Amino acid sequence: MSLDRSDVEQIAHLARLQIDAADIDSYGQSLNSILSLVDQMQATNTEGVEPLAHPLDAVQRLRADEVTESNQREVLQSVAPATEEGLFLVPKVIE
């Protein structure tokens, strides 16, 4: 499995990462070397092995349905790049 320029561009787009055109090849190379490293897995027979998502065999705990949070808008928005009238501002959303 080897990625070409357009694959790298497509992945970068999916991940919403701007990559300079000049850097695409070097990213492509390192992604390919990482992928050939991880391709070592493919030779291993994993038939019938249950995937392990979490190291501990624990189950989800439930939270009581009680309001514990109060309005913290001012402090939470103090680190926001752009707000107005309590809203976070972003370039126009077109639907």
Partner 1 sequence: MFDKTLAELAQGLERGDFSSSELTQAYLQRINALDSRYNSFITVTEEQALAQAKAADEARAAGNAGALCGLPIAHKDLFCTQGVRTSSASKMLDNFVSPYDATIVSRLKNAGTVMLGKLNMDEFAMGSSNESSFYGAVRNPWDAERVPGGSSGGSAAAVAARLTPAATGSDTGGSIRQPAALCGITGLKPTYGRVSRYGMIAFASSLDQAGPMAQTAEDCGMILNAMAGFDPMDSTSAERDMEDFTAALNQPLAGLKIGLPKEYFSEALDAGVAEQVRNAVTEFEKLGATVKEVSLPNTELCIPAYYILAPAEASSNLSRFDGVRYGYRCDNPVDLEDLYKRSRGEGFGAEVKRRIMVGTYALSAGYYDAYYRKAQQIRRMIQQDFINVLNDVDVIMGPTTPHPAFKLGEKSSDPVSMYMEDIFTLSLNLAGLPGISVPCGQTGGLPVGLQIIGNYFAEAKLLNIAHQFQQTTDWHKQIPAGVEV
Partner 2 sequence: MEWEVVIGLEIHVQLATKTKIFSGASTAFGAEPNTQACAVDLALPGTLPVFNENALRMAVMFGLAVNAEIGKRSVFERKNYFYPDLPKGYQTTQLAEPIVGPGFVDIETDEGVQRRVRIHHAHLEEDAGKSLHEDFHGMSGIDLNRAGTPLVEIVSEPDMRSSKEAAAYARKIHAIVTTLGICDGNMAEGSMRCDCNVSVRPKGQEELGTRTELKNINSFRFIERAIDTEVARQIDLIEDGGKVVQETRLYDPDKNETRSMRSKEEANDYRYFPCPDLLPVIIDDSYIEAIRETLPELPDARRDRFMSEYSLSEYDAGVLSAYRPQADYYEQVVKQSGDAKLAANWVMGELAKFLNQNDTDIKDSPVSAEQLGGLLVRIKDNTISGNIAKKVFEIMWSKGGSADEIIEAEGLKQVTDTGAIEKIVDEVIANADKQVEQYKAAEPDKRGKMIGFFMGQVMKATGGKANPGAVTGILKQKLDALCD
Report in angstroms how near the CB of residue 76 gets to partner 1 at its nearest: 6
Binding partner selected for residue 85 from partner 1, partner 2, none, CB under the kind-specific 5 to 8 Å limit: partner 2
Positions in the binding site for partner 2 (CB under 8 A): 14, 16, 53-54, 58-69, 71-73, 76-77, 82, 84-95
Question: Binding marks (x or -) toward partner 1, 62..91, rule CB under 8 A?
Answer: -x--------x--xx-xxxxx-----x-xx
Pick from 70, 69, 74: nearest CA to 86: 74
Distances (CA, A) of 85 to 3, 54, 71, 90: 46, 42, 15, 13
The pair of structure tokens assigned to 23 is 């850097």
